[in-house]
Amino acid sequence: MPQLTLVQAVTLGLQQEMERDDRVVVLGEDVGKNGGVFRATEGLQARFGEDRVVDTPLAESGIMGSAIGLAMAGMRPIPEIQFEGFLGPAYDQLVNHAARYRTRSRGAITVPLTVRVPVGGGIHAPELHSDSPESIYAHTPGLKVVMPSTPYDAKGLLISAIRDPDPVVFFEPKRIYRAFREEVPEEEYTIPIGEAKIVAEGTDLTIVSWGATVHQCMEAMDDLPEDVSVELIDLRTIYPIDVDTIAASVEKTGRCVIVHEAPKTAGMGAEIATLIQERCFLSLQAPVQRVTGFDTVMPYYKLELDYLPDAKRIGKAVAECLNY
């Protein structure tokens, strides 16, 4: 079984789905000859040709509109948006068209497209290249939103997204594209969209996170006293959210800390805290804590690491929650 990075797992998933289904096409800026800005599509144009791996003009709205048309015509397009900040120009097409066609057509037309988007900070990129906008798209009915934290999950979730009958926004945490390797099966497999993963079982407190910050949570857990038992949940799918797994854990532990990169206000942490309040109020032994980015524009690289949640901030929140 090969040891792959997250971006290599994405490439393998794309390759295998293109081999399995000739309706699968990739389109985006520099995805062909150059293999994409992060090289996730490297080698695919040489293997499948320019008709299935299409270099597009620098026009995100056009990329998304073309992908919607292809999907409505029966294809399985995978548009790549180079950085999450550039989803803005494609917002109208994605939110006002792709997300609504199933309802608009009373189920007669679906839009099976998978929008791949590198997301988040940590690589010293400039403005518009380091944001975490998952809550914006999770707030849009008709869209599914996915964010893996490991190479294994990236491949399985990507294949599920490509085979999904509706539009999926597939966020790829760019700072862990090549941060570590993991065994990834060569054969095809899927991971159901909408199912969270319990990374570590525990009884004293629940941590809920997703994407790159899952690894900062694991780092924080390594520094906790040996007699503290923490359950770590990797959400994997931002929407539809696996509230049953979260609720079952919090009903067991009575305490919860939510960790994400995005700004605090109206982030997914607020939604999860409310779901816990609705489902687990009588089980709570302490207020739900949030460790997040700050309510400011993502700073330039010298302050970038001060913005991102780290093990120290997570450990402090865990201690406060345990000692409440």
Against a cut of 0.95, is the pTM above it? yes
- The fraction of the chain above a pLDDT of 70, given in percent, is 100
Average pLDDT over residues 148-160: 98
pLDDT confidence tier of residue 152, bands split at 50, 70 and 90: very high
| Arithmetic mean of pLDDT over the chain | 97
Of the pLDDT bands very low, low, confident and very high (cuts 50, 70, 90), residue 170 is very high
Q: What is the pLDDT of residue 293?
A: 97
Q: Greater confidence, 255 or 301? A: 255
Distance CA 198, CA 191 (A): 14
**164: exposed, middle or buried (Cβ count in 10 Å: 0-12, 13-18, 19+):** middle
Q: What is the pLDDT of residues 206-250, one digit of tens each?
A: 999 999 999 999 999 999 999 999 999 999 999 999 999 999 999
From 129, 139, 215, 260, the catalytic residue:
129
The burial of 126, by beta-carbon neighbours within 10 Å (0-12 exposed, 13-18 middle, 19 or more buried), is given as exposed
- The predicted model gives 110-115 an average pLDDT of 98
Q: Region 58-84: what's the mean pLDDT? A: 97
CA distances from 25 to 14, 61, 65, 322 (A): 9, 17, 14, 49
215 is catalytic: no
Segment 273-301 shows an average pLDDT of: 96
pLDDT at res. 128: 87
**For residue 317, pLDDT beyond 90:** yes
109 in Cβ contact with 205 (< 8 Å): no
Section 124-136 average pLDDT:
92
Q: What is the pLDDT of residues 5-18, one digit of tens each?
A: 999 999 999 999 99
The answer to whether residue 301 scores a pLDDT higher than 90 is no
pLDDT interval class at 1 (50, 70, 90): confident
| Burial (Cβ within 10 Å: 0-12, 13-18, ≥19) of residue 95 | buried
Q: What is the pLDDT of residue 108?
A: 97
Lowest mean pLDDT among 72-86, 116-130, 175-189: 116-130
Mean pLDDT of 32-60: 97
pLDDT at 126 over 90: no
* Residue 278: band (very low, low, confident or very high) from pLDDT cuts 50, 70, 90: very high
